[in-house]
Amino acid sequence: DSGVTQTPKHLITATGQRVTLRCSPRSGDLSVYWYQQSLDQGLQFLIQYYNGEERAKGNILERFSAQQFPDLHSELNLSSLELGDSALYFCASSRTDGFFGPLHFGNGTRLTVT
Amino acid sequence: GESVGLHLPTLSVQEGDNSIINCAYSNSASDYFIWYKQESGKGPQFIIDIRSNMDKRQGQRVTVLLNKTVKHLSLQIAATQPGDSAVYFCAEISDSSYKLIFGSGTRLLVRP
């Protein structure tokens, strides 16, 4: 068990809808990262937060947004969902900004858009 | 994009043999490298890491080798076990980007 908790485990929704994925990092970790894993892609970096502030951005669509709250949990909001957004969404956390130690991943949220 | 398409190469090994999984990384400025194992239905699990000032690091049954000259990373698993069957990813990060970028992955199948 990595100590990173993601909810929900599964999410099925329709095109055009909006969903929120939640992540609780490991105790003491200040950084949270979001990754997307589709069938035809590897693990694609979306965005990183460090102690409540956005630190790095990857290929995150404008329809997607994230935030990290004062208690360090994070939410990833996906709106105007399309079929192609169906994927596994992973959250990871690390003690600092990621460079000085490995990221620890949760078991993901599987999103299915129908 | 920052990830490579998932056309997974597969390595099939006999239980008890040693496995070597290779990875070519893209950024010569990368400072830190990590190997992850991903089992079906689970998130990537940290195996071992190495910094760019090292060329070898050993863990329990695993060794990572780094060749910066040719931008190559390898993961050696000794006495491979059925529980080692999974997809293995290398990942790299540079101190200027803060982004951990994953390689395309290799599927390891262990034959009993």
Number of domains in chain B: 1
Residue B24 lies in a domain: yes
The answer to whether the CB of B84 falls within 8 A of the CB of B19 is yes
Residue B61 lies in a domain: yes
pLDDT tens figures, B9-28: 999 999 999 999 999 988 88
Residue B4 lies in a domain: no
Residues of chain A with pLDDT under 70: 40-41, 97-100
What the block records as the tokens of B66 is 């780094």
Question: Rounded to whole angstroms, how far apart are CA atoms A1 and B20?
Answer: 26
pLDDT at position B1, please? Answer: 34
Q: CB neighbours of B2 closer than 8 A, spacing ≥ 6?
A: A44, A45, A58, A59, B99, B101
Q: Do B101 and A102 touch (CB under 8 A)?
A: no
Q: CB neighbours of A45 closer than 8 A, spacing ≥ 6?
A: A33, A34, A35, A56, A58, A59, B2, B3, B99, B100, B101, B102
CATH value at residue B22: 2.60.40.10
Q: Nearest CA to CA, how far is A91 from chain B (Å)?
A: 9
Residue B2 lies in a domain: no
Q: Is pLDDT above 70 for B94? A: yes
Identify the domain containing residue B17 by its residue range.
10-111
The answer to whether the CB of A66 falls within 8 A of the CB of A57 is no
Residue B20 lies in a domain: yes
Residue B1 lies in a domain: no
CB of A96 within 8 Å of a chain B CB? The answer is no
Q: Do A98 and B31 touch (CB under 8 A)?
A: no
What the block records as the tokens of A104 is 């620890």
